[in-house]
């Protein structure tokens, strides 16, 4: 008797498969592929992410135990370690990168009305990078130091819903500031960065695109003050100044005035100096914007703890990038499900629940909302009635 779909199958129904197939066709992902196509590869790798499998051997063992259920999960091919490894090595990682961009646009629309926690009617981005350490002998292409390998995950996080709108995967040698050359600035948006991105020539490109930035200054920062504005020191703001750069190359790179704000953080007993090209917002709002940057640090911590992006199933560059992009797509898929089903639970809790109930036949909303649910057994219509 049919009692419903598996939780995994219900989750996969939120995937826009037609658009996924467009990405596959763009890079010839299924060219001369008889079995185990890109759709099945994505399903299997998403299952590995959701259930937190540590290796392809684990994935193979888990799925072979439930062999009779694979068809209902959309997996029609025989699962083996060699098939999984070959697909991760050969299928172009750009398929999953392009598909993640489709999910990003979908999630962005769903979280458009979320509250930033700041009185500001604009898009706010946090830009940062995290390093994923690798063994250089196993990943010789990921050169970082003389005896150490690594890849960097450069991320532009939209703080409305914590949606990663831009991701660049590079080797560990690429300096963080170089990622500014890859961004397409959004007019009117705010870009919040730490002082590792303090390059005045690149920041001036953001300014010319009518975008705003908030960053911290360095200690050896040379400037001359033009104006000082009144501040309310009870808010923690100690000074609000209009300045111009004095160092020759810095002044050539950014020839216009900047705003300098010094803020005292009483909680940490620390003084912070911010630089921005926005002269209209209150100084305390600029400080609040920079404080919101820590959400990208929490994002990196979260995905490293709850998705498989620290231990990899393959050693080739293509396998590593495919795994990272599928992990990002899985994160976005769960974020989409949370919004479309109106779930109050945080993403952490949803992933913890999903890791345990992939083969349950409970409706997805009931499983993730915590509401009690019992399958209704249909009445058998073939039973004859002796008395009426």
**Strand bridging mode 190-193 / 124-134:** parallel
Mean pLDDT of 12-34: 93
State pLDDT tens for residues 90-102: 999 999 999 999 9
The domains of the chain are located at 7-94+313-369, 195-292
Mean pLDDT of 8-24: 95
Q: Are 45 and 326 in contact (CB under 8 A)?
A: yes
Sorting pLDDT into bands at 50, 70 and 90, what band is 387? low
Beta strands in 31-172 (DSSP E): 124-134, 143-145, 148-158, 163-171
Q: Buried b vs exposed e over 48-67: b needs ≥16 C-beta within 10 Å?
A: bbbbebeebeebbebbeeee
Long-range contact set of residues 236-239: C-beta below 8 Å, sequence gap at least 24:
236/263, 236/264, 236/265, 236/266, 236/284, 236/287, 237/261, 237/262, 237/263, 237/283, 237/284, 237/287, 238/262, 238/263, 238/264, 238/271
Select from 247, 244, 250 the least CA-distant residue to 227. 244
Question: Sign of dihedral through CA atoms 194, 199, 202, 205?
Answer: positive
Question: How far is it, in rounded angstroms, from Cα 87 to Cα 141?
Answer: 19
**Strand bridging mode 148-158 / 143-145:** antiparallel
For residue 321, CA distances in Å to 90, 94, 102, 150, 192 come to: 12, 9, 17, 12, 26
Question: How far is it, in rounded angstroms, from Cα 151 to Cα 327?
Answer: 15
State pLDDT tens for residues 288-339: 999 999 999 999 988 888 888 888 999 999 999 999 999 999 999 999 999 9
């Amino acid at each position: 008797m049919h009692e419903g779909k598996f939780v995994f199958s219900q989750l996969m129904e939120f995937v826009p498969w037609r658009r996924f197939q467009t990405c596959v066709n763009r890079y010839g992902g299924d060219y001369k592929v008889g079995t185990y196509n890109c759709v099945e590869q994505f399903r299997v790798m998403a299952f590995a992410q959701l259930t937190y499998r540590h290796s392809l051997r684990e994935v193979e063992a888990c799925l072979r135990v439930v062999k009779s259920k694979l068809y209902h999960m959309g997996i029609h091919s025989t699962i083996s370690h060699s098939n999984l490894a070959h697909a991760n090595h050969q299928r172009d990682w750009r398929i999953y990168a392009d598909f993640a961009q489709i999910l990003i646009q979908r999630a962005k629309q769903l979280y458009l009305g979320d509250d930033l926690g700041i009185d500001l009617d604009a898009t706010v981005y946090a830009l940062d990078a995290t390093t994923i350490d690798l063994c250089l002998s196993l990943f010789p292409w990921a050169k970082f130091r003389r005896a150490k390998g690594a890849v960097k995950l450069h991320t532009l996080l939209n703080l409305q819903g914590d949606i990663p709108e831009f991701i660049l995967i590079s080797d560990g040698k690429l300096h963080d500031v170089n990622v500014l050359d890859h961004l397409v600035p959004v007019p009117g948006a705010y870009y919040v960065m730490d002082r590792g991105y303090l390059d005045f020539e690149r920041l001036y490109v953001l300014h010319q695109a009518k975008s705003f930035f908030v960053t911290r200054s360095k200690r050896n920062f040379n400037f001359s003050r033009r104006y000082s504005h009144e501040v309310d020191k009870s808010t923690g703001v100690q000074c609000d100044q209009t300045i111009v750069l004095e160092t020759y190359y810095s002044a050539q790179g950014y020839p216009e005035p900047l705003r300098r704000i010094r803020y005292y953080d009483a909680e940490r007993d620390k003084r912070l100096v911010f630089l921005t090209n926005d002269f209209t917002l209150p100084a305390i709002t600029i400080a609040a914007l920079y404080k919101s940057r820590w959400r990208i640090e929490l994002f990196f911590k979260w995905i490293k703890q709850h998705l498989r992006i620290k231990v990899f199933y393959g050693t080739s560059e293509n396998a590593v990038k495919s795994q990272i992009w599928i992990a990002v797509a899985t994160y976005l898929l769960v974020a989409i499900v949370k919004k479309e089903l109106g779930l109050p639970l945080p993403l952490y809790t949803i992933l913890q629940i999903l890791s345990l109930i992939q083969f349950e036949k409970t409706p997805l909303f009931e499983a993730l909302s915590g509401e009690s649910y019992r399958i209704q057994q249909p009445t058998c219509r073939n039973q004859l009635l002796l008395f009426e």
